[in-house]
Every structure is written in C-alpha cells, then in structure tokens.
Amino acid sequence: MTTDVNILIRGQSNALLFVANGGARELEKDLEASLPGVNVNIIQHYGDKNSTIHSGTAFLKWDTDGQQQGLLNYVKAQSTDIKDNPTVTLWMHNEYDGNTGGVTTAHWISEVKTDAALVRDVLDQSAATTPYVFTYVPYNYAQGNSPANIQAGMRQLSADPAFNAIFDSTAMNGLRMDGDGYANSSHMGQGDAILVADRLAVDMKGIVSNLAKGATSSPPSPPVTPPVSPLPPGGNTMKVIGSGPDSLVLKISEDAYKGHAQYTISVDGKQIGGTLTASASHAAGQADIITVKGDWAAGAHKVTVNFLNDAWDGTAATDRNLHVDSITYNGKALAKGSADLLKNGPVDFAFTDGSVPSAPTPPPAAGSAVVKTIGTGADSLVLKVSQDAWQGNAQYSLFVDGKQVGGTLSAGALHGSGNEDTITIKGDWGAGDHKLTVRFLNDASGPGGDRNLYVDDASYNGSALSKHSAVFKINGPNDFRFTETADGLGATFSGTAGKDVFAVQHGDGDMVIANFTAGTDKLQFEGFDKATMHIIAASEGGVSGTLVIFDATAENVFLPHVNNLTTADTLFV
C-alpha cells in the first residue's frame, strides 16, 4: 500500500506567499492529521532559476522565458524515492495571465496540457497518478475576459477524464488579500494562506487518500457542494442603534450559508440594539454600515462584536462566517478595527474617548538596539526585532500559547541600519508543540513616512524556528511555531513515521531536526556547497547525535540520536 504522496506547489507570487506564510505546512499538517498513516511530501521551491514558483511571471510565457525548464530541472533533481510517489500538482497560476488581455480558453488549455505532459514525463508517471488541483487567485488587476477564459479552461480540464483534474473554485473565495499591507491588494497575507490551506485540505483529502491506497483507475471526482436553500438577496444595510453625540461606525459583512450571520454589539459590556443580522456579501466586497450612538466619557472603552450562529458543513462553500471589516470612533479609525469571526464567540476592540494626542516622539537618532529578557526558566525564545520608526517607535506584545508575556514592548533598532533588538523570553515549556504570537499594536502612516515592525529572526533553545521572520505592515498578530523534544531540545522540524525530506535553505540559521531516520529520510540543502560539508559526531544539551556543518557558513544541522548518517542521506539543489 502506498503511504507517501507528493504535493507539487507551483505558481507565481501568491503561490510563493502561500508557502512563505505557512499555508503549505498547514496543508501538509491537515492532510496527515485526517489521513493517519499517509505521509505528505511538499515539493516547492522559489528564489532561483530552478524553481516550482516564479514570482512576477506569466505562465503562458514560461516555455519561452525559461521558467518551465527551471521547473522541470527542479523536479528532475528530486531523489528517485520522491519521484516514484504519486504526485498531486497544486496549481496556483494565473495572476499575470489574468492581467494579459486576449487570453483564450483554447490557448490556455493547450499550454497547460503541454506543460503537464512534460512534468509527468520527468516523474515517469501517467495522468492516473498525477492529478491536478486548480485554484484561481483573486487578483485585482485583471484584463477583459482573460480571467473568465482561464477559469473556463480549469473547468474543461476538470471535466476531461484523460487529464485527471479538479477545479476548487471556492478555496480562495472571500480572501482579505492584505499581503501588501492593505485589504484587497494583489497578494494574500498569512490569514489568507492558512484559510486556503484548511479549505484545500478538505477538498484534497479524497484525492490524497485514493493515491495512498494505490487507486489509479479513475480520476478523483470534483467536490460536490450540497444544495443550499436560496437566501434573500444580500446588500448593504445601513442601521443606527443607540443614542448620543458619539458614534462608533462598524462595517460588517458575512459569508452566508443556510441563513444569514447573526451577532450582537456591546460597549463596555452593555449590549446595544438587540440581535443584528448581516446581509452584505464579504466575497462581493459589500459591507453593512452599523452606527452605534452613545455618550462615552473620556478614557478607554471596549466595543464587543459577538458572533451567534456559526455553521459549517465541511467545505468552504458551506461555511457561515461574520467579518468586521473596519471600525471608526468619531471619525477616527481604531488601531485594531477588523476581525474575521469564523466561529461563535466575542471579539473585543479598544477605543478611547477624549484623549489628547501627545507630541510625536521622534524616531531614534541612531536606532539604538534594545536588549531585554522577559520571564524566568530554563528555556529561551530569542527574537531579533527591528522597525521603521515614524512619529514614534513601533509597539508590540508577545504571547506564548495564548498567554501574554512582558507587557507592551517598544522597538528600538531601525530596520535599515543593520541593528536589531534582542528579546529573550524565558520559560519552562514542556515537550510538544507550542506557539509564539507577536502582535503589532500601533501601525501608522502618512505623507511623511510609515511605521512598521519586523521580526528578523526567531529561535528556540538555539534552534531556528521553521518560520523565523515576518514583516508587519498593519496592526495584527503573526504566529511562530516551536517544538520541544522529550530530550529538552528545541526542534526546527520533527520527522514522521514515513519518508521525510527536510529542506534546509541557506540563511535559515542553526537547525535541529528530531526523529530523522537515516537511510529513509533526506536532508535537502539549497544554496550550500557540497564540497564544504562535514558530517561529525556531536552532542547538544547532553544529547548525542550527528552534526552537519559547512566551512563556508555559520549554519549547522543537528540530528539527535542519529549516528549513521552518510552523504547518501543528503541532496543538494
């Protein structure tokens, strides 16, 4: 029985951001959790000519501009035991093609068929074991009928049993597309990437399960959306609740399913206006305008939106959600004024009445770096932080497993100076997976500048986190995962019972890979010189194992409890 299935991720800038923002890892995790015994290998790469992802390119020119050959080179370079696995191609192309006028369905289909034949030839597999999953990225700068023609091509190929594909038309519905620092931009943000991954995992589960069982006789069926009773037409509702000289204005939208989303609004714990019903479509860019009137005293206050009737029947198309798109108080936008409510419960938003703004704090003259230790304990999370300061320093808060540590922090080092703040969080975290959340608090911008926050690096007990950097252009959280092994080591990655390929990229820093099985798993080094590699016995934290080091870099990979690693266990691309 086949237990290993590859997912080849390919596309342009949004495919890159899907990977960089944790979507690929989330997809792998979701599928493996729902399919015990199945090992999912993600195949993806970007940043050089031999990649599966080429940002800022048009797929219809990949064959003439060299990107197609780069894709084939990368796939061909995979080890035989990887290429032998059934492989799902997750297709996230179309931004630049949709932005090109005159693209026809026939032309697009012809190019995709030619491309697919080349990829399948490199894998030495037929269409039966190499299905395609098409998605369509909601790119804002489309031209004419090109987007519709491309989506028609996706549907036609999905209806062709000889090609073996499905078109997941709902995976990217209702995205915020806030990756450029504002909603409805050209790129997905982290929240979008995780949402898309969770949706894809639901619709890809059957495909991956069939491939793992060795089912190759027929292509997977496309996901079927259950019939839904029609809803009254959505639109933009305007409503005023309460009374008084002060005004909170909320823009609300919904993902409707078997009825509209319902919610309540409270200020300082007191409900105003009864139960409200959303009507504006989030996917269509609509918004209900809810004005909450009151007479609130000078000082800090809290407005709470409580989602009441969440519903979900297993797919993105059968999911009822509520969205707070923005909030203003007396005409001024709240620092945190948006949230996606994907399950029942309240979300709080802070606002202040009658505050007199203090004089702007000038940015640090030399970007003096902050060195700070928070908490106590044997374990250490170390963050390297910097900022773009404008009318004051960037402020942020830190949470470990949902519990805030250290209060409100202010960045000091300027991002462009080469300096970094060093923030060490001490604690005693048990074996298992944990989550560090960094929340940017005071985004600001204007004609004279822009205030931003950067996490330049993150490590746990000396081991680089698998995701160890992030850019905060707007207020909000970003999560970083870390793992402690039973031996007390911080693990960058942890192997599974199946065959694993661990991609180590130049610049990732020191890494610890737990549960590595020599002779089965692979270390894939990207951007390293094989001639400078050395494999030596070593120990860290009292745990013996193998250390892979490179003369030309300060980066190491430690494999605890591994004493039989050979060069055959390594790949260089």
**Per-residue pLDDT tens over the stretch 524-545:** 988 888 888 888 888 877 789 9
Cα distances (Å, whole numbers) of residue 264 to 110, 196, 234, 256, 347: 52, 28, 19, 17, 11
Q: What is the pLDDT of residues 339-361, one digit of tens each?
A: 999 999 999 999 998 744 444 43
For residue 221, what pLDDT is reported?
A: 44
Q: Is residue 397 located within the same domain as residue 496? A: no
Q: Is residue 306 located within the same domain as residue 405? A: no
For residue 565, what pLDDT is reported?
A: 92
- The mean predicted confidence, pLDDT, of the chain is 86
Written as six digits, the tokens of 352 are 């202040």
Question: In this model, does residue 235 exceed pLDDT 70?
Answer: no
Is beta strand 87-92 parallel, antiparallel or unpaired with respect to 543-550?
unpaired
For residue 143, what pLDDT is reported?
A: 65
Establish if 105 belongs to a structural domain. Answer: yes
Spatial separation of the C-alpha atoms in residues 561 and 387, rounded to whole Å: 40
Q: What is the pLDDT of residues 356-388, one digit of tens each?
A: 444 443 444 446 888 999 988 888 999 999 999
Q: Is residue 439 located within the same domain as residue 309? A: no
Q: Is residue 270 located within the same domain as residue 402? A: no
As a whole number, mean pLDDT of residues 469-476 equals 91
Establish if 397 belongs to a structural domain. Answer: yes
For residue 424, what pLDDT is reported?
A: 94
User: Number of folded domains in the chain?
Assistant: 4
For 257-317, give the secondary structure using H, E and C.
CCCCCEEEEEECCEEEEEEEECCCECCCCCCEEEEEEECCCCEEEEEEEEECCCEECCCHH
- Which amino acid belongs to residue 294? G
User: What angle do the packed helices 13-20 and 190-212 form, to 10 degrees?
Assistant: 90
Establish if 207 belongs to a structural domain. Answer: yes
For residue 140, what pLDDT is reported?
A: 63
Question: In this model, does residue 55 exceed pLDDT 90?
Answer: no
Stronger pLDDT, 314 or 111, i.e. the higher one: 111
Question: What domain range includes position 301?
Answer: 238-353
For residue 169, what pLDDT is reported?
A: 80
CATH assignment at residue 476: 2.60.60.40
Establish if 31 belongs to a structural domain. Answer: yes
As a whole number, mean pLDDT of residues 268-284 equals 89
Establish if 390 belongs to a structural domain. Answer: yes
For residue 304, what pLDDT is reported?
A: 96
Q: Is residue 320 located within the same domain as residue 458? A: no
Burial class (CB in 10 A: 0-12, 13-18, 19+), 2: middle
As a whole number, mean pLDDT of residues 499-505 equals 88
Question: In this model, does residue 477 exceed pLDDT 80?
Answer: yes
- Which amino acid belongs to residue 81? D
How crowded is residue 556: how many other Cβ atoms within 10 Å of its Cβ?
Answer: 20
| pTM strictly above 0.85 | no
Which helix (DSSP H) or strand (DSSP E) does residue 155 occupy? helix 146-158
For residue 493, what pLDDT is reported?
A: 87
Torsion of Cα atoms, 121 then 122 then 126 then 128, to 10°: -140
Q: Is residue 162 located within the same domain as residue 46? A: yes
For residue 230, what pLDDT is reported?
A: 37
SS3 116: helix
pLDDT-based confidence at residue 214 (cuts at 50, 70, 90): confident
Q: Is residue 104 located within the same domain as residue 250? A: no
Question: In this model, does residue 563 exceed pLDDT 70?
Answer: yes
Establish if 223 belongs to a structural domain. Answer: no
Question: In this model, does residue 226 exceed pLDDT 60?
Answer: no
DSSP state string for 335-393: SS--EEE-SSEEEEEEEEESPPPPPPPPPPSS-PPPEEEES-SSEEEEEEEEEE-SSS-
Of 196, 212, 228, the one marking the end of a domain is: 212
Q: Is residue 328 located within the same domain as residue 460? A: no
SS3 17: helix
Which helix (DSSP H) or strand (DSSP E) does residue 193 occupy? helix 190-212
Q: Is residue 83 located within the same domain as residue 23? A: yes
pLDDT-based confidence at residue 223 (cuts at 50, 70, 90): very low
Spatial separation of the C-alpha atoms in residues 432 and 77, rounded to whole Å: 34
For residue 361, what pLDDT is reported?
A: 39
For residue 552, what pLDDT is reported?
A: 65
Q: Radius of gyration (Cα) for the chain, nearest Å? A: 25
SS3 121: helix
Establish if 217 belongs to a structural domain. Answer: no
pLDDT-based confidence at residue 15 (cuts at 50, 70, 90): very high
For residue 554, what pLDDT is reported?
A: 62
Of 484, 507, 535, the one marking the end of a domain is: 484
% of the chain beyond a pLDDT of 70: 92
Spatial separation of the C-alpha atoms in residues 318 and 223, rounded to whole Å: 12
Spatial separation of the C-alpha atoms in residues 54 and 16, rounded to whole Å: 8
Establish if 273 belongs to a structural domain. Answer: yes
CATH assignment at residue 86: 3.40.50.1110
Q: Is residue 189 located within the same domain as residue 279? A: no
As a whole number, mean pLDDT of residues 478-501 equals 87
Q: Is residue 8 located within the same domain as residue 119? A: yes
User: What angle do the packed helices 146-158 and 105-123 form, to 10 degrees?
Assistant: 50
For residue 362, what pLDDT is reported?
A: 44
Which residue is listed with tokens 């374990």? 379
pLDDT-based confidence at residue 240 (cuts at 50, 70, 90): confident
Spatial separation of the C-alpha atoms in residues 6 and 500, rounded to whole Å: 11
Q: Is residue 122 located within the same domain as residue 153? A: yes
Of 463, 484, 505, the one marking the end of a domain is: 484
